[in-house]
Amino acid sequence: MIEGINMDKRPIGIFDSGIGGLTVAKEIFACLPREDIVYFGDTARVPYGTKSPQTVKKFSCSNTKFLMSQKVKIVIVACNTASATSFGKLRAEFPSIPIIGVIGPAVKLALMCTKNKKIGVIGTESTISSNAYLKEIRKFKSNVSLFGQSCPLFVPLVEEGWIDRKETLLIAKKYLTPLKRKKIDALILGCTHYPMLKSVIKKIMGKGVAVIDSARAVAEKCKKVLEEKGLFNGKKRNGWHKFFVSDNPLRFKRAGQKFLGRKIDKVAQIDIG
């Protein structure tokens, strides 16, 4: 890129239902260190994973409107439930801006990894019942089987920091054993929080199962879109990162630091309506 040409100084916008999307944000920070980033966590309305598609669509639209008010140049839907239920709606409502979800990149990775054509996906109740992962797989392959399992206790366990407790291992075994029995060889972590449980999940699934965390793939997709559309920031210094929530900035700060693995300086609260 020649400096001064094809530069776009507007920030990247990321939203999630709360702190989970920070697993995606962390990869975007690492992949695009020069970019300015606005992260919005909808902590007043979390969880999305137990809500109806209509409600999550409404929330996703208001979150995107907020990011647009921050003059972002691209929107990353860093929430599986929002991607599964609202991606089409967001693209239709906001045609002027590129929007990236987490499902496409995860499916691409899983299809690259599977040899026996049996893939598993775990996520929230809404994500699993949306069938969004199967619909995405069917765009590319008709001969791949997908087995879904919702794991509703994983989100609260992660938020409580119960990452390596024996209770967590027991609960994970209960959720994952049916998928193991199906002899899947790739497992998609279809929820923002699950990468935090990757080592427990790997332990249960064993060496023969590729555990797919799409965060890095989403960051790379974001980089590719910025490049293709000539939207790189082009600055020489590191970018700034701003965090907004719709409720309880202190809790977000405390828990979010664990997700991000670094300090969060400032979190602003907004009224999302």
* DSSP β-ladder status, 74-77 and 145-150: unpaired
Of 31, 79, 113, 222, which residue is the catalytic one?
Answer: 79
Peptide bond into 47 cis (omega under 30): yes
Residue with tokens 């960051």: 219
| Site residues (CB under 6 A) for ligand DGL, limited to 91-130 | 123-124, 127
Pick one of 11, 14, 16, 176: the residue that binds ligand DGL (CB under 6 A).
16
Given candidates 40, 48, 232, 244, which one binds ligand DGL under the rule CB under 6 A?
A: 48
By the rule CB under 6 A, 188 interacts with ligand DGL = no
* 46 is a site residue for ligand DGL (CB under 6 A): yes
- Interacting residue with ligand DGL among 114, 192, 214, 246 (CB under 6 A): 192
Strands 145-150 and 186-190: unpaired
Q: Which residue is nearest to ligand DGL (CB)?
A: 49
Cβ atoms of 32 and 64 closer than 8 Å:
no
Q: Is position 113 annotated as part of the catalytic site?
A: no
* Of residues 127 and 168, the one with the C-beta less far from ligand DGL: 127
79 binds ligand DGL (CB under 6 A): yes
Task: Tell me the C-alpha distance between 84 and 21, whole Å.
Answer: 14
Cross-strand partners of 15 = 40, 77
Beta carbon of residue 219, minimum distance to ligand DGL (angstroms, whole number): 16
Alpha carbons 15 and 62: distance in angstroms, whole number: 11
81, 86, 214, 246: which one contacts ligand DGL (CB under 6 A)?
81
Helix or strand or coil: residue 100?
strand
How many Å apart are CA 217 and CA 260, to the nearest integer?
17
Amino acid at position 222, single letter:
C
- Let me know if 151 is a catalytic residue: no
At closest approach, how far in Å is the CB of 4 from ligand DGL?
A: 38
Catalytic residue (one of 31, 113, 191, 222): 191
Nearer to ligand DGL by Cβ, of 60 and 114: the residue is: 60
Selected from 11, 13, 47, 256, the binder of ligand DGL by CB under 6 A is 47
Please select the residue that binds ligand DGL; options are 26, 57, 193, 221, rule is CB under 6 A. Answer: 193
Give Rg (Cα) of the chain.
18
Residue 13 found at the interface with ligand DGL (CB under 6 A): no
Listed in sequence order, the residues at least 6 apart from 99 whose beta carbon sits closer than 8 Å to its beta carbon are 64, 74, 75, 76, 77, 87, 90, 91
Which range, of 76-84, 212-220, 254-262, 263-271, touches ligand DGL by CB under 6 A? 76-84
Bridge partner list, 148: 121
Task: Report the residue count for the chain.
Answer: 273
Choose, by CB under 6 A, the member of 25, 67, 110, 155 that binds ligand DGL: 155
Q: How many alpha carbons fall within 13 Å on the CB side of residue 30?
A: 15
Active site members: 79, 191
Binding residues vs ligand DGL (CB under 6 A): 16-17, 20, 46-49, 79-81, 123-124, 127, 155, 191-193
